[in-house]
C-alpha cells in the first residue's frame, strides 16, 4: 500500500489533530513506521498515538534492518521483541507513540483478546474466510466514526458484513480497498469500548510508595498527570519493597497457563521500562548474567525441556540446562538440571522505586510520614484523611497501592488478602563466592560480590512476627543447600537478616484495576448473578494495585501501565482474559455468581 492509500481512507492526519489520543488498528503489519513518521512531521498531531498491530508469531522473524536508512526503522529494530506470543507494548518518543503488538493466532482470535476503542482499522483480510464474525468484533471496538480500509478476496461479502455490523461503505473501484465508516443506526453493543478520561484535571492520589505505588505514579506522571504519592514511612520502599535485592524471571511451565502468560507479559514489559531508566543513567543495581532455575526433580527438568521445545521458546527467553551445563554457567555445582533465563536476574527494588520517582519528579509530589486512615468520595473527588480527620489530598482518581492496608481502606468484600511473613538471610562471603548468577528453585540465592550472598526466603502465612529468627536462617540455608550443595557442605556465617511481609490473595494473583462498587453490586445482586467483569458497577476513579505476593518486580510495572491505560481509555497492554484474572472485583464476581451475596 502506498502512503496515500494508508492515510487518505482514514482522513489522516486531519482526524488526529487536537486530540488527546488516536488509536490505529492494523493487521497489515506494515503501517507503523509511516504513521510514526507522519505523526512526527505534523505539528498539530494528537498527544498520543497508539498503533495496535496484529500478526502471527512468524511476523517477529523479520525485524526492520538496523542498518535501514530510516532512523525510525533503526529505533524499531532496537526495540524488537522476543519471539514469544502475547501482547508486546513498545514505547517511543517519550511514551507518546505506542506500538502494541498482538502476536499469536489468527486475526479473529487476536481481536477477541483485545480491549480498546479504535479510531481506524487498516485490514488485510485476504486470508480471512467469512468476514461476518470479524466485522462484529470491529463493531465492538469501533469509536464514533471509526474508519475501515480493507483489502479482501471477496469484496461484496465483506461489504455486506460491514453493513450488517453498523458500518457505511463508500463506493469504490473494483479491486480497490473497501473503505467504510462506523455509523450504526442503533447501538446494540452490550458494553461501550473504553472511554477517554473526561475530567479536566489529570490529578491522582497514589497511596503507598513501594514497587506498586512508584510504578503507578511514574506511568501516570509520564502521561502528564500530577500525582500526590502518600506513604507512612519517611522514604519510599521501606516495607516489602525494601529488600536488598529481589529476583525477576517469567514462569515457564508445562502448559501456557494464565500465570505463565501474565508473568511473561510482566517480565518483558518490566525489562523495557528498566532499560529506559538505565538509558537515562539511573542505576537499578540489576545483574546481567541471566538467572538459573533449578528443577525440583530430574523429571521436572526433562518435562520443562520438552515444554520449551514444544512452545518453540527462543533461546533469548529460556534455555533448558542439563545439570552439567547449569553447574558450568552458575560457577558452582547444582543439584539438578533446570533452565536459564538469559534476561532474568536480580535487581534492587528500592533502586527501581527511586529511579521511577526521580525520572518523573516534576509531576510527583511525595507526602511521606503520612498515614491515610480513611478515604471518601464526594461524587466528584476522592479524598484521603489522616488520623486527626485532616484532609491530606483530593483528586478525581485514587490508586490504592498500599499492599495489606488496601482492603481495609476500600472495605473490600470477603477480606481477600492475607499476609505472608518472609525472612531473608545475608551470608558472609564463603560457600557461594563462585556463584555467578542468581539461582532460584526451592529458594533463591543472589550473589552480592564482596558482600557475600542473599538467600531466602521463608514463607510463613499469617505470622506477624517482625523479629529475625535463627530457625528462619537455618531453613533458608537448608533450602538453598538443596539446590547448591556447596552451601550445605561448607560452614558459612550469617551476617544479617531481614523480615518483611508479602501481601497475597487465595488464588495468588495480584489485585489490579478498577475497584467494584460493592454496595451497588449488593443491591443488584440478583441481576448480577450471571455477570461478567464488564457488567459490574465500578467505583468511579478508584483503582487498586496490590497483592503482588512474591512477584512484585515482575508485575508492578505492567500493573501500572494497565491501570494508566484503563484510566485514560487507551488500549489495554494485556489480553482481557489476563486482566480479568487480576481484576480486583473477581472475588465479588464469584460470590455473586454463587449466590453468596444477596440484597440484604
Q: Per-residue contact track with ligand FAD, 422 to 441, x per CB under 6 A? A: x-x-----------------
Cβ at position 324, least distance to ligand FAD in Å: 27
Residues 460, 423: Cα–Cα separation, whole Å: 9
**How many Cα atoms occupy the beta-carbon half-sphere of 4 within 13 Å?**
0
Shortest distance, position 557 Cβ to ligand FAD, whole Å: 11
Separation between Cα atoms, residue 574 and residue 558, nearest integer Å: 9
What is the residue whose three cell numbers read 463506493? 171
**Among 213, 503, 231, residue whose Cα is nearest residue 386:** 231
- Work out which of 405, 460, 568, 570 binds ligand FAD, going by CB under 6 A: 405
Residue from 548, 585, 588, 589 in contact with ligand FAD (CB under 6 A):
548
Q: Which is nearer to ligand FAD, 449 or 530 (CB)?
A: 449
Tell me: does residue 479 bind ligand FAD (CB under 6 A): no
Count of residues making up the chain? 600
- Which residues, 6+ apart, have CB-to-CB distance to 202 below 8 Å? 220, 223, 224, 225, 226
213 lines the binding site for ligand FAD (CB under 6 A):
yes
Does 233 interact with ligand FAD (rule: CB under 6 A)?
A: yes
What is the smallest separation between the CB atom of 544 and ligand FAD, expressed in angstroms? 10
Output the nine-digit C-alpha cell for 541. 476513579
- Segment contacting ligand FAD (CB under 6 A): 79-87, 134-142, 542-550, 576-584? 542-550
Query: Concatenated DSSP letters for 353-420?
Result: HHHHHHHTGGGEEEE-S----EEEE-SS-EEEE-TTS-EEEEESEEEE--GGGHHHHHT-TT--EEEE
Residue 344 sits in the site that holds ligand FAD (CB under 6 A): no
Is residue 457 involved in binding ligand FAD (CB under 6 A)?
Answer: yes
Report CA-CA distances (Å) from 154 to 14, 28, 29, 132, 230.
Answer: 30, 17, 21, 12, 58
Cell (9 digits) for 343: 534476561
Q: Which residue, 109 or 369, has its beta carbon nearer to ligand FAD?
A: 369
Q: Does 551 bind ligand FAD (CB under 6 A)?
A: yes
* Spatial contact of 546 and 208, defined as CB atoms under 8 Å apart: yes
Give min distance, CB of 506 to ligand FAD, in A. Answer: 16
Task: Give the shortest CB-391-to-ligand FAD separation in angstroms.
Answer: 14
**From 206, 259, 401, 515, residue interacting with ligand FAD (rule: CB under 6 A):** 401
349 is a site residue for ligand FAD (CB under 6 A): yes
Please report whether residue 76 would count as binding ligand FAD according to CB under 6 A: no
Q: Which is nearer to ligand FAD, 114 or 209 (CB)?
A: 209
Task: State the pairing for strand pair 118-125/97-104.
Answer: unpaired
What does the block give as the cell for 455? 538467600
How many angstroms separate the CA atoms of 105 and 54, rounded?
9
Q: Which of 371, 428, 507, 524 binds ligand FAD (CB under 6 A)?
A: 371
Whole-angstrom distance, CA of residue 167 vs CA of residue 590: 37
The smaller minimum CB distance to ligand FAD, of residues 225 and 248, is found at: 248
Q: Which of 73, 103, 158, 240 binds ligand FAD (CB under 6 A)?
A: 240
Name which of 475, 493, 479 is nearest 431 in CA terms: 493
Among the listed residues 9, 86, 131, 208, the single contact to ligand FAD using CB under 6 A: 208
Q: Which is nearer to ligand FAD, 207 or 397 (CB)?
A: 207
Q: Is the Cβ of residue 97 or residue 220 nearer to ligand FAD in the bound state?
A: 220
Hey, what's the cell of 563? 491501570
Contacts with ligand FAD, residue ranges (CB under 6 A): 207-213, 230-233, 238-241, 243, 246-248, 349, 371-372, 401-403, 405, 422, 424, 456-457, 500-502, 546, 548-554
Amino acid at each position: 500500500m502506498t502512503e496515500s492509500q494508508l492515510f487518505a481512507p482514514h482522513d489522516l492526519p486531519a482526524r488526529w489533530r487536537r486530540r488527546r489520543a488516536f488509536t490505529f488498528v492494523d493487521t497489515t503489519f506494515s503501517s507503523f513506521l509511516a504513521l510514526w513518521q507522519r505523526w512526527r512531521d505534523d505539528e498539530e498531531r494528537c498527544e498520543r498515538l497508539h498503533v495496535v498491530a496484529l500478526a502471527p508469531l512468524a511476523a517477529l522473524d523479520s525485524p526492520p534492518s538496523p542498518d535501514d536508512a530510516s532512523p525510525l526503522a533503526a529505533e524499531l529494530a532496537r526495540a524488537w521483541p522476543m519471539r514469544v506470543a502475547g501482547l508486546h507494548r513498545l514505547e517511543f518518543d517519550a511514551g507518546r507513540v505506542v506500538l502494541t503488538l498482538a502476536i499469536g493466532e489468527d486475526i479473529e482470535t487476536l481481536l477477541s483478546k483485545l480491549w480498546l476503542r479504535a479510531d481506524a482499522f487498516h485490514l488485510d483480510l485476504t486470508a480471512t474466510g467469512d468476514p461476518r464474525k470479524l466485522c462484529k468484533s470491529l463493531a465492538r471496538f469501533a469509536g464514533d466514526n471509526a474508519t475501515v480500509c480493507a483489502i479482501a478476496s471477496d469484496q461484496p461479502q465483506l461489504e455486506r458484513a460491514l453493513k450488517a455490523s453498523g458500518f457505511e461503505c463508500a463506493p469504490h473501484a473494483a479491486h480497490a480497498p473497501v473503505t467504510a465508516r462506523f455509523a450504526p443506526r442503533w447501538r446494540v453493543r452490550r458494553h461501550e469500548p473504553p472511554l477517554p478520561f473526561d475530567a479536566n484535571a489529570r490529578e491522582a492520589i497514589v497511596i503507598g510508595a513501594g514497587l506498586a505505588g512508584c510504578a503507578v505514579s511514574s506511568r501516570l506522571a509520564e502521561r502528564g498527570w500530577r500525582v500526590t504519592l502518600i506513604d507512612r514511612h519517611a522514604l519510599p520502599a521501606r516495607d516489602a519493597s525494601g529488600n536488598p535485592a529481589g529476583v525477576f524471571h517469567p514462569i515457564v511451565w508445562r502448559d501456557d497457563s494464565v500465570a505463565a502468560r501474565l508473568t511473561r507479559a510482566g517480565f518483558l514489559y518490566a525489562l523495557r521500562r528498566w532499560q529506559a531508566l538505565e538509558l537515562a543513567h539511573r542505576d537499578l543495581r540489576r545483574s546481567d548474567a541471566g538467572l538459573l532455575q533449578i528443577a525440583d526433580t530430574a523429571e521436572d527438568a526433562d518435562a520443562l525441556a520438552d515444554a520449551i521445545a514444544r512452545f518453540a521458546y527462543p533461546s533469548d527467553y529460556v534455555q533448558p540446562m542439563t545439570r552439567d551445563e547449569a553447574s558450568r554457567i552458575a560457577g558452582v555445582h547444582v543439584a539438578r538440571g533446570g533452565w536459564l533465563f538469559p534476561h532474568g536476574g536480580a535487581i534492587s527494588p528500592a533502586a527501581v522505586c527511586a529511579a521511577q520517582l526521580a525520572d518523573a519528579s516534576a509531576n510527583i509530589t511525595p507526602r511521606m510520614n503520612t498515614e491515610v486512615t480513611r478515604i471518601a468520595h464526594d461524587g466528584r473527588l476522592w479524598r484521603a484523611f489522616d488520623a486527626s480527620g485532616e484532609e491530606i489530598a483530593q483528586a478525581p482518581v485514587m490508586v490504592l497501592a498500599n499492599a495489606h492496608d488496601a482492603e481495609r481502606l476500600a472495605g473490600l468484600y470477603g477480606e481477600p488478602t492475607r499476609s505472608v511473613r518472609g525472612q531473608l538471610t545475608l551470608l558472609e562471603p564463603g560457600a557461594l563466592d563462585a556463584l555467578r548468577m542468581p539461582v532460584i528453585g526451592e529458594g533463591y540465592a543472589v550473589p552480592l560480590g564482596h558482600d557475600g550472598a542473599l538467600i531466602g526466603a521463608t514463607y510463613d502465612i499469617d505470622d506477624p512476627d517482625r523479629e529475625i529468627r535463627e530457625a528462619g536462617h537455618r531453613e533458608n540455608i537448608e533450602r538453598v543447600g538443596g539446590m547448591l550443595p556447596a552451601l550445605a557442605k561448607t560452614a558459612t556465617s550469617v551476617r544479617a537478616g531481614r523480615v518483611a511481609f508479602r501481601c497475597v490473595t487465595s488464588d495468588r494473583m495480584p489485585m489490579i484495576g478498577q475497584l467494584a462498587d460493592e454496595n451497588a453490586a449488593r443491591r443488584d445482586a440478583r441481576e448480577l448473578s450471571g455477570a461478567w467483569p464488564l457488567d459490574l458497577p465500578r467505583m468511579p476513579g478508584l483503582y487498586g494495585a496490590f497483592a503482588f505476593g512474591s512477584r512484585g518486580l515482575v508485575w508492578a510495572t505492567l500493573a501500572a501501565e494497565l491501570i494508566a491505560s484503563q484510566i485514560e481509555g487507551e488500549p489495554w497492554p494485556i489480553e482481557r482474559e489476563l486482566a480479568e484474572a487480576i481484576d480486583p472485583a473477581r472475588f465479588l464476581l464469584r460470590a455473586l455468581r454463587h449466590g453468596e451475596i444477596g440484597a440484604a
